[in-house]
Amino acid sequence: MVVIPDANRAVVRFRLSFFVLAAVFVLMFAITVSAVIFAIFSARNAETVSVLERQLADTIDIYNQQLAEKNDQIASLESGLADLSELARLLEADMEGIRNLESEIRQIADLEDVSIASLTTVEGGRGGEELPYEETAFSGEESWAVASDEEWISDIESTYQSLESEIEKWMPRLEQLKNEILEWQAILRVTPTILPTSQLRVTSEFGMRRDPFTRRLTFHAGIDLGGKVGDPVYAAADGKVIESGKDRTKGNYIVIDHGRGIKTRYFHLNKRHVSVGDKVQKGQRIADLGNTGRSTGPHLHYEVLVNGKNVDPWPYIKSERKDS
């Protein structure tokens, strides 16, 4: 090898042995082969990385899609639960209306209120049909669980809507029942169904009898109820006093018009507490029992007239107590 730098410098000569040239050649060859192998492996790795990146991107897209579907399903469930909550609120409002109406009906009809005790779990006997436990019902695919929840919500919505429909049908019936009870109570208020005295001492029945003075067979237009002078006499029903006076035969007497063609008459009173035109209520004290007029002793002569005709008072009397 001769190296000539320039004209002003000396020429450099050196020799390389065959061994050195062979070693350099081998080294260059090894470097070249290594570079080729590295390039091949780099290309393969780049392709693998590219494939993995594409797979990762596809997986991310799939998970994003599934996440979007889950979010939609969750939103649907939340919407369904919100609808259920609204249905439950409306149903509770309807049930509260029914409970209030039931309470009103019970008060109107004078029924005893029945309270429902809260349900609690206590120790005691147990039983019932044995059903196998299905693990898959709780450990299956999430999509199955979500679908099951949606079906469950749909079933509950159907049940709520069915109950709401039934409530809508029952409310008018209960209102009608309430009105009928009010009408019936209004009728009972003006129907002489209670005993006009505090004691049941019948001294003479309604119908044919022998007159206590003449001993002749005569018609008795009412019933005689014995007692002591001053015992209370009560109005047998709501009504208006149309007569309150004194008569030689009737003694002190009161006549009450109850409407619907029904009147009651009270004879032989010791003292009258109401006057003509007064409105009286069922069970109100209107007079004191006495022994005035054509009477053999202290008693109340009580009559019921329907459309101007005397009828037997007993079929009307349902209670001996004035406050019943």
Distances (CA, A) of 8 to 2, 3, 4, 11, 310: 16, 13, 10, 10, 169
- What are 303's two structure tokens? 């009559």
**Residue 118 pLDDT level (bands cut at 50, 70, 90):** very low
DSSP string of 133-147, one letter each residue: --THHHHS-HHHHHH
Average confidence score pLDDT of the chain: 80
pLDDT given for residue 129 in this prediction: 35
CA-nearest of 265, 269, 247 to 255 is: 265
pLDDT of 286 > 80? The answer is yes
At 150 the pLDDT is 64
Listed range (68-77, 105-114, 181-190, 214-223) with the worst mean pLDDT = 105-114
Q: What is the pLDDT of residues 249-281, one digit of tens each?
A: 999 999 999 998 999 999 999 999 999 999 999
The structural architecture, per CATH, of the domain 202-311 is Distorted Sandwich (2.70)
Where is pLDDT greater, at 150 or 204? 204
pLDDT recorded at residue 153? 67
Q: What is the pLDDT of residue 109?
A: 65
Write the DSSP string, 285-299: EEEEEB--SS-SSSE
Residue 284 CA to residue 260 CA, distance in Å, equals 20
Indicate the SS3 state at residue 300.
strand
pLDDT at position 4 is 83
Structure tokens at 263: 């009147």
Is 101 exposed, middle or buried, given 0-12, 13-18 or 19+ CB atoms closer than 10 A?
A: middle
Report the pLDDT value the prediction gives residue 275, as an integer from 0 to 100.
95
149 within 8 A of 137, measured Cβ to Cβ:
no
Backbone angles phi, psi at 178, to 5 degrees: -60, -45
217 Ramachandran zone, left/alpha/beta (phi>0; psi -120 to 50): beta
Phi and psi torsions of 142, nearest 5° = -65, -40
Measure the CA–CA gap between 136 and 76, rounded to whole angstroms.
23
Answer yes or no: is pLDDT of 40 > 70: yes
Q: Which pLDDT belongs to residue 50?
A: 84
Q: Three-state SS for 48?
A: helix
Average pLDDT over residues 54-65: 88
- Cβ-proximal residues to 285 (8 Å cutoff; 6+ apart), any chain: 232, 233, 234, 273
pLDDT at site 152: 66
pLDDT tens readout for residues 194-236: 999 988 888 999 999 888 888 888 999 999 999 999 999 999 9
pLDDT at 136: 42
pTM of the model: 0.53
Task: Tell me the backbone φ, ψ of residue 255, rounded to 5 degrees.
Answer: -125, 130
Pair of tokens at residue 92? 């509770």
Place of tokens 């040239």: 21
